[in-house]
Amino acid sequence: MENRENVKGIAARVAIWSARHRALAILGWVAFVAATVVLSGQLGTRQADFDQTGHGDSGEADRIVAAAGFPEQPAGEMVLIQNRAGTDRTAAAAEIIRVLGTTSDVIDVQAPIESPDGRSTLISFSVAGAADTAGERVGPSLDAVAEVQAAHPDLYVAQAGSASADRLVGVELEDGLTRLGMLSIPVTLGILLVAFGAVVASLLPVALAIMSVVAAIGLMALASRWAPAVDETTHVMLLIGLAVGVDYCLFYIRRERDERRAGADPHRALMIAAQTSGRSIWVSGLTVIVAMAGMFFTQDVTFVSFAVGTILVVATAVLGSLTVLPALLSALGDRVDAIRIPGLYRKNNEGRVWNGLLKVVLAKPLISAIVAVAALAAIASPALDLKTKGQGIQDVSADAPVVLAFLAIGEAFPSKTTPAQVVVSGDVGGAGFAKTLKTFTAAVRASDGALVEPVDVQVNPAGNVAVVSVGLAGKESDAAAVDALTLLRERVVPDTFGDGALVTGSTASGIDYNAQLDRTMPMVFGFVLGLAFLLLLVSFRSVVVAITGLLLNLLSVAAAYGMLVFVFQDGHFEKQLGFVSGGGITNWIPMFLFVILFGLSMDYHVFVVSRIREGHDRGLSTRDAVREGIGRTAGVITSAAVVMVAVFALFATLPLTATKELGVGLAAAVLLDATIIRAVLLPAVMALLGRANWWLPKWLGWLPEVAHELPAPPAGPLPDPDVERQLTRV
């Protein structure tokens, strides 16, 4: 019977319990996943109401409008008619009005208006029914407008609006997600088949990762009662859950197989895997969860939703890896290597290439460190010019007809696409307000083109809130639009409506959103860095290892930022990735990448340094411990990195520019982290530091001891868990 004193740590104790109660652990996990699916179906996921979640003046203005009882407006659409060769637009405009008047689900067709330059005509109308489902009913009007365009090839006739934009996003995103679903699992499975060379061992991580994602999405339905979800959360959960879940299982299974090949009996191999890789999994998972929790400081609905979703999916992945996976491995035994693939199954999984590189690095650690830092600095250097921007319709599919039409309308009629809205509270139905409105209109005309007519006014039924819309020069959040908004907020509105009036709209919301991120970013970074340092300090009882881990992760993040700027801000690889550069990175991406990458980088750091610490605790010199630890983990780190890079890269195939940025940024960072940082810079730095790696001040001697060395083998062979359980009962 196993000596219980050899079982150290939560992961090992859980694994031993799971191995002794295999049926209960496996059925319990299946029941847990099934229960979350039922829970999700019963509760449904509560979606965030963006009218209630803005920031600054624009957020307060949106909340006032939402509470003012304005009648629900149908989705608005616009048809633009432009000259191409000096031809007359009158006949085409009349035909558009006639055709729309007989088209199903089209209501409230407006009289044509002309652009200031005399080149464009705009006809507005609405789509009948609820605005949030108008994308399902906009098809007939799009077809009708396309027929008019075909009849007038000498003119540009195109339609755009909220309903057609929703339809475009829905179709593009559905196609992208279908493609992602068809590719992500087969690609991941294919990589694992190459890594393991056995079908059963390859299927286990994929199956557990998928079940972890399903369970986390089910739990999100309950969590959304306190933290409403945004649409992108499910995509992010799939992205993180598939990568992390597969990696955790990969670490565990690889270590168990290695110990079996080294001569350990099945029970002892499982115990060693639990006490080493299992411990690394929960430490890494806890670090990832801490990093994700930093997003709560933003007080932003999107980041809070991302934080909850990623924490849930990482927690379920850790739970599955530490509970049901040991039970499955105990039940399968050596059959985990069943259905071996000829030519791929190898008993020795140590990477020859990485071991050759490691030999060079340890022979010349200083030169290796300098070369690695120089390479990372070169990759990260474009990040010095990083700019952010808000999301726009052109980020969906830049060459789509609806997007091109929307941009053309914005050029000719800026007040119709991204107007600023002045929200005025008080008595807005009397002569005093009408006089003030005339003063405001005069100020707009005197703004030298910064503010654009017409000035439109809506008053709520109670007569105590008015929304005054006016166009801004420029496009969305460019310099001209920002200058116009500043003029409106700081001079025109205070001088006419007074200090109580608030300005909202897409440009104002984007600026207020960025200001909120700027205010909260120091708290997010400080929280993540501080708690990650403490976790590493407690885990390895070394100040130097903790500091080194933080610095290496920051290098990884900086390199990812540099890659994003080079590709998406500077416009490289536009054709290959299917996007058009907007001159900046989507505003929520940098902070989100920081917390995600900082958490994910700990996967490799904790796993590799734990293996190095094992050797050090057995009495090896630091250099020998580094050689053994990195040499033995090279194969599994390569496999894990390839899985993550493949999954993340697939997200670059989705139509949204933000998801492309997320996929490219994560894939590039993980690739650099697993190669330059973990295979070159980490061993070089640790070799240079020597015994200093394990320095801990005496005043921190109270930190708990965490054993990294392998447990001593028992005197005799371990009995089968079922036999041991029977003996224990006797």
Q: In the numeric block, which tokens belong to residue 183?
A: 């590719």
pLDDT level of residue 705 (50, 70, 90 thresholds):
low
In a domain, residue 131? The reply is yes
Which residues are bridge partners to 157 per DSSP? Answer: 81
Q: In the numeric block, which tokens belong to residue 305?
A: 């939703």
C-alpha 728: how far from chain center: 48
Angle at CA of residue 544, ends 292 and 291, nearest 5°: 0
Please tell me the distance from the alpha carbon of residue 635 to that of residue 353, in angstroms, as a whole number.
10
* Residue 97 CB contacts under 8 Å (≥ 6 apart), including other chains: 109, 112, 123
Higher pLDDT, 669 or 724: 669
Span 186-220, pLDDT tens digits? 888 888 888 888 899 899 999 999 999 999 999 99
pLDDT(70) > 70:
yes
pLDDT of 319 reads 94
C-alpha 330: how far from chain center: 35
Span 247-288, pLDDT tens digits? 899 889 988 888 888 888 888 888 888 888 888 888 888 888
Decide: 111 and 79 in contact? Cβ < 8 Å.
no
pLDDT of 313 reads 95
In a domain, residue 386? The reply is no
pLDDT of 716 reads 40
Cα torsion 605, 611, 616, 621: sign: negative
CA distance readout (Å), 525 to 86, 421, 554:
57, 34, 11
Nearest of 1, 8, 180, 65 to residue 704 by alpha carbon? 8
In which domain, by residue range, is 467 found? 419-504
Percent of the chain with pLDDT strictly greater than 90: 39
Please tell me the distance from the alpha carbon of residue 536 to that of residue 332, in angstroms, as a whole number.
34
Decide: 159 and 408 in contact? Cβ < 8 Å.
no
Counting beta carbons within 10 angstroms of the beta carbon of residue 408, is it exposed (0 to 12), middle (13 to 18) or buried (19 or more)?
middle
* Residue 72 CB contacts under 8 Å (≥ 6 apart), including other chains: 130, 131
Counting beta carbons within 10 angstroms of the beta carbon of residue 699, is it exposed (0 to 12), middle (13 to 18) or buried (19 or more)?
exposed
Percent of the chain with pLDDT strictly greater than 70: 93
Report the number of distinct structural domains present in the chain. 2
- DSSP H or E stretch at residue 503: strand 502-504
Query: Is-above-0.85 flag for pTM?
Result: no
Span 405-445, pLDDT tens digits? 988 888 888 767 778 999 999 888 788 898 999 999 999 99
pLDDT of 6 reads 53
Which residues are bridge partners to 125 per DSSP? Answer: 77
Please tell me the distance from the alpha carbon of residue 454 to that of residue 348, in angstroms, as a whole number.
74
In a domain, residue 313? The reply is no
* Residue 178 CB contacts under 8 Å (≥ 6 apart), including other chains: none
Span 116-173, pLDDT tens digits? 788 899 999 999 988 888 989 999 999 999 999 999 988 999 999 989 988 888 777 7
Identify the domain boundary among 168, 201, 225. 168
Q: In the numeric block, which tokens belong to residue 535?
A: 């976790």
Torsion of the alpha carbons at 704, 705, 711 and 715, rounded to the nearest 10: -90
Please tell me the distance from the alpha carbon of residue 677 to that of residue 379, in angstroms, as a whole number.
13
Please tell me the distance from the alpha carbon of residue 689 to that of residue 193, in angstroms, as a whole number.
38
In a domain, residue 491? The reply is yes
Q: What crossing angle do the helices spanning 506-540 and 56-67 adopt, rounded to 10°?
A: 120
Q: How many CB atoms lie within 10 A of CB 592?
A: 25
Q: In the numeric block, which tokens belong to residue 191?
A: 């990589």
Phi, psi of 452 (to 5 degrees): -120, 130
Identify the domain boundary among 504, 524, 544. 504
pLDDT of 350 reads 57
Write b or e for each residue in 454-467: b if 16 or more Cβ atoms lie within 10 A of its Cβ, otherwise e: ebebbbbeeebbbb
Span 88-104, average pLDDT:
91
What SS3 class is residue 719? coil
Nearest of 109, 139, 142, 113 to residue 126 by alpha carbon? 109
Higher pLDDT, 388 or 717: 388
Span 640-661, pLDDT tens digits? 888 888 888 888 888 888 889 9
Q: Show contacts of 668-671: CB within 8 Å, 24+ apart.
A: 668/559, 668/560, 668/563, 669/556, 669/557, 669/559, 669/560, 669/563, 669/593, 669/597, 669/601, 670/600, 670/641, 670/644, 670/645, 671/641, 671/645
Average predicted confidence (pLDDT) for the chain: 86
Q: What is the CATH number of the domain that holds 130?
A: 3.30.70.260
Which residues are bridge partners to 123 per DSSP? Answer: 79
Please tell me the distance from the alpha carbon of residue 632 to that of residue 123, in angstroms, as a whole number.
69
In a domain, residue 97? The reply is yes
Span 612-632, pLDDT tens digits? 888 888 888 889 999 888 888
Identify the domain boundary among 459, 484, 504. 504
Q: In the numeric block, which tokens belong to residue 689?
A: 């530091």
Q: How many CB atoms lie within 10 A of CB 20?
A: 18
pLDDT level of residue 349 (50, 70, 90 thresholds):
low
Please tell me the distance from the alpha carbon of residue 597 to that of residue 412, in angstroms, as a whole number.
42
pLDDT of 307 reads 94
In a domain, residue 139? The reply is yes
Q: What is the CATH number of the domain that holds 484?
A: 3.30.70
